[in-house]
Structure 1
C-alpha cells in the first residue's frame, strides 16, 4: 500500500486572533492527554501520595497534619500545571481528609459541625493559595520570557544595525528566529521569474516546498500559514520585501501548541518581518546615497577631464583653423580644385571640433560654479543676428527666415549667454532637419516678456522625449546611430536661459512634423538715466 501524502490547509494570517491559522479545533487524543488530562492525573496522584504517607500515622497526629500536608500538593500543582489542576487537588485533598481522617472514617459524612467548618476553611485556603501560587508562577514565567525576549531583540537589533547587504540581513533573520522559536527556519530567495527558489541545503517538508512554489513574489502579500496534519506543525510563510522589491520568503516552523501559543509566535514573526522591511528600506537609502556620491564623484572627475582636455585642445585647434584659413586665401590653392576641397574639409571639420570643445567648456563652466550672468541692456535683433552669423556654416544647407516684431523692447540679459543659447537651438534645428528645409526665427513682444522662437521642419519630438529634454547628455534612441552629437546643446541652452531669468519651452505636433523651441526673456522698461547712458555709449 502507498501511504497518502500529508494534507495541508492554509489561510491568511491577520493581526489578531481572528484569521490566524490554527491547528485542528479538535485536538488529537495524544495532545489532549499531554496538555490537559496528564496534569489532572498527576494532581490526583500527589494527593494519593500524601494520603499514603499520613495513613500509617496515629489518627490524632494525622488529623492535625492534614491541613498542612494537603496544601503541599495544591501548591505544587498550582506552580507546575496551573489553576485547574490545583483546584482539583484542593477538592481531592478535602475529600481525602474527610474520608480517611475525620470520623466516621471511610465515609464522606461528617457528624461534628466543627469538622465541617475545618474542611471548608481548608478548601478556601487551598483555593486561595492555589490561585496565588498559579498567578505567581505566571508572573515569574512572563518576567523571564520578557527578559529573554529583550535580550534576544537587543542582539537582533545589533545584528540589523551591522547589516550592509541583503544576505547579511537574511542571515540575521534565520539566526534570530531559530534561536527564539527553537524551530527550523528556511529562506527561499526570490527568482527572476517572480517565483521563490528553494534553498540549496536544509530539509524542508514537501508540502512547504509545494506551497512556496505556488506563491507569486508580490510586494505586500500577507503572510500565510499551513498545517502539516501528520505532525500538527504550523509553518508560517512570510515575504521579505521593501517598498520596491521582494527579496525572498521566510518559512518558519512555529510548531504545535494551543491557539494562544500559535497566535503569539505568529505575531512575533510578523513583527520581526516588519523590522526587516524597515531595515531593507534603510539599506536601499544607503545604497542610493552611495550611488549618488559615486555618480557625483564621477561627474566631477569627468568635468575636470573635459575642462583640461578642452583647454589643451584650444591652442592647436586655433592654429589648425588659422592655417586652413590662410591656405584657403592663397590663389594657388583656390585655383586647384582637389586641393581647395581638402582645405575646405579641414576647415569644416575643425569648425565642428571647435563646436564640440565649446560645448565641453560650457558644460564645465556650468558644473564647476554655476553661471553668473553679466546683465546689460541688449537689442534682441542683435542677439538673433549674431547667433545666425555664428552658426552660418551649419545653416548653409537650409533656408533661414528671420522675422522681428514691431516695437521690440530691449532686454536686460547677458547677451553672450543668450546668443550661445540661440546658437545651440539653431544648430539642433539644422542637425535634425533635412537639407533644403526652412528654419524660421521670430522675435516678438508678449506682455512683459520677449519671445525668441526657432522652428524647423525636421524629425519632431515624441511626448516621452519631451519629458527628458533638459537632462544632461540626453539623446533620443532614434538619433544616436544616425546623427552625431553629445546631448549637451539643449542642456547648455536651458541653463544659460534660466540663469538670465528666462524660460525655454519646446513644442512639436508629433514625430516628423517639426519642432519649435521658444526662449522667453523678461522684458522691462528702461529708466531715463539708463537710456541716456546707453545713447552716450
Structure 2
C-alpha cells in the first residue's frame, strides 16, 4: 500500500500542476483571442476566454478555474478594451463589461468545477459499490476461513503476513484460519484478549497498550464474537483513516460470511459423525453376518464329516469338502475386501506397476471364481491387438473378481455373463454384462458407494456392499473410472476403464 508520505506528495503536487496548467490555459486563450479578433466583435471575444475557463474547470477543480477566470479577466481588459495594452479603462460601459465578464467567468468556472467534483464522487462511489459487490461475491463463494481471509486481503490490498483471522479454542489458545498457532507477544495477546472480551476494536484507541504490532477487530454474530481480524502495522502505527473506514464497512459483511462458514463446518462435522456411525454400524453388521455365515457352513460340514465319516459315501464326502472349500474361498474374498478397504481408506495403496496382459488378468479372475461361475455361461470377446496394461496386476485382478462375483450373484441359474475387452488408443475398457434383474435408474449412481447393496436379485441383501466400492477405489488409484449401464429387467453392464500409459507417465501419477 502507498505510504502516508506518498499520499501527501501526490495531494500537494497535483494542485500545483493544475494551477500551472490554468495559467498556461489563460495565456493560450489570450493568444487565440488575438488571432480571431479581426473576425469577431469585441463582445464575442469574451466567449473565447469563457470557453477556456470552462475547459479548465472541467479538467481540474474550483481553485484553478477561479485563477483562470481572474487571468482571463485581466487579459481581456488589457488586450481588447480601449485603450488596448493598458490597465486603465476609460469608459464606464467597459468597466461594466469587465465586471460582468468576471462574474460570468467565476460562476461558470465554479459551477463546472463543482459538477466535475460531483461526477468524480459518483464515479468513486460506483467503484466502491462494485468493489463491495465483488467482495460479497467472494464471501458468498467462500468454503472456509482461508477463503474469507483471502477475500479480505484482496479488498484491503495487503500482503498475507499483514492480516490474520484468529479463532479461539476451548483452552483459550488462538489459532489462525489455516489451523496454525500465531506467535504473539504478551502485549499483543493481552490486546487480543481485551478485544475478544469487550467486543470492540482494540489497539489504536488504547492508552494503556502502547504501540502493539497487531490491531484487532472482533467479528460479531449478534452479541457473541466469532473470531478476531488482526492487522499488523508498521512500527505499531494505527491504520490510516480511510483504511479504518473501509475495514468498518467490510467487517459486518465478513462476520455474516464467517457465521455461515462456521455453520456449514458444524453441519459438516455433524454429518461426518453421523456417517461414521452409520458406516461403523454397517461394518459391524457386515462382519457379523458375512464372517459368521461361511464359518457356520464350514463348521457344519466339518462336524458332519467328523461324526459320520465312516457312514458317508464318497460322493457325499466330496460334496461336503467342496462346499467347505467354496465357503473358505468366499471367506477369503471377504477378508481380502476388508483389507483392501482399509488400505484405500488410509491412503496406504502404493502401486507397484508392471506390464500385464489384460487377458491374463481376466483368466486369473475367472479361475479364482470357478466355483461361483460353474452354473453359468461365460462368453468373452477378446480382440487380438490388445495392448499391454501398465498396472499393478493384483489390484486390477481383484477389481475384476469383485465385478464378476457381483454379476454371478445377480444372474439366474444358467444365465450368461458377457465379457468384452476393448481399447480406443487412449483408454482400455472391461465391459461385464449379466442377465440379472437390472438396477433402477435412481440407484445406478449409488452402486459404487461403500456398503450399498441392491435389494433385488438372487443374492438379495446378502451382499457386503464392499466389492464395487473397492473396485472403484482400485481403478481410481490407477487413474481409471467405473460406471454402470442398466435397464430394469434386462441386466446390468459394469464398464471399467483404465488409461493406456507409458511407464514414465504412470510414474508421474503415483
TM above 0.5, yes or no, is no
TM-score range, shorter chain: 0.3 to 0.5
TM-score by structure 1 length?
A: 0.40
TM-score by structure 2 length?
A: 0.42
Higher relative contact order (CA 8 A, sep 6+): 1
Larger Rg: 1
